[in-house]
Amino acid sequence: MIIDTHTHFYDPTRPQGVPWPNPDDKVLYRTVLPEHYKALAVPEGVTGTVVVEASKWIEDNQWILDLAANEPFILGFVGHLEIDAADFEENLNRFATNSLFRGIRLGGGHVKDIDNQAFLTNVEKLAAKDLELDLLINQDVLPNVGLLAERIPDLRIVINHVAGVSIDGRRPNAVWVEGMHAAAAPPNVYCKVSGLVESAKDEPAPTDTAYYAPTLDILWDVFGEDRLIYGSNWPVSERFADYATVQRIVTAYFTQKGEEVVAKYFWKNARTAYKLKIEN
């Protein structure tokens, strides 16, 4: 079983169009739906996905949930809600009634002000519903992730795209390494191993697992076998490598850790972090 916890679906041909991607984007500006994804992922053994909303339009949360209603391959959905909006709680209550709605994603700007009580109060509402928080952040706010996790221990936090570290085949910079240690100190913080080829400094992105190993080694040392999660970041990843290559890079690394680690990385940890309703 393989669960890809980071895909995006959208359709620019809708009457209202899409807020992302930009029409000038020759790679991404096209119709991207489950059937297009499954054509690439199923041959690689993928059995389901968690969709992450990239649109800021509130009703696009419903659009994905409607899509998922007829697509069992979608196992969960991380929505987009403005956590500082006056109607945050109303929208959270609305979408949380759907069992596929597993949490929301926020950018790093929110985490910079860890003492903002209004922010903390709304995050607590998320945790009270047993939902998780995906974070699209950079290394500068990693220590605050650990602080947030300590303040709200019932909240599961998933760092996206390994916090945007630059990958060059060598040991990552000290700020990122120290930040990852700080973020991972509480047990309720997970890391999505996604965005590797996107972060490669060399062009084209290398396809050899050894190039990414120094970064993966740090993640393994920091998060261990129970808190690392697979995500492809498709279709964004297609700018840099095809789907099979993205998956092969991490498969080669985690296979060395043993069969049980592979199972945890590719689906068991995702089930725990997102509280997915799946059976073995």
Query: Does residue 280 fall inside a structural domain?
Result: no
Which segments within 87-188 are labelled E, that is strand?
101-107, 132-136, 156-159
Q: What pLDDT, on a 0 to 100 scale, did the predictor assign at position 232?
A: 98
pTM beyond 0.85: the answer is yes
CATH code of the domain covering residue 260: 3.20.20.140
Query: Does residue 28 fall inside a structural domain?
Result: yes
Query: Does residue 100 fall inside a structural domain?
Result: yes
Q: What pLDDT, on a 0 to 100 scale, did the predictor assign at position 280?
A: 65
Query: Does residue 279 fall inside a structural domain?
Result: no
C-alpha span between 95 and 12 (Å, rounded) = 23
Where in the sequence is the domain holding 152, given as residue range(s)? 3-274
Q: In what order do the strands lie in the sheet with 74-79?
A: 3-7, 48-52, 74-79, 101-107, 132-136, 156-159, 189-193, 228-230
Residues making up the chain, counted from first to last = 280
Q: How many CB atoms lie within 10 A of CB 214?
A: 14
Query: Does residue 205 fall inside a structural domain?
Result: yes
Q: Kindly state the helix (H) or strand (E) to which residue 254 belongs, with its residue range.
A: helix 243-255
Domains of the chain: total: 1
Instruction: Give the chain's residues under pLDDT 70.
Output: 280
Q: How many CB atoms lie within 10 A of CB 98?
A: 17
Q: How far is CA 61 from CA 68, 103, 122, 180, in A?
A: 11, 11, 18, 30
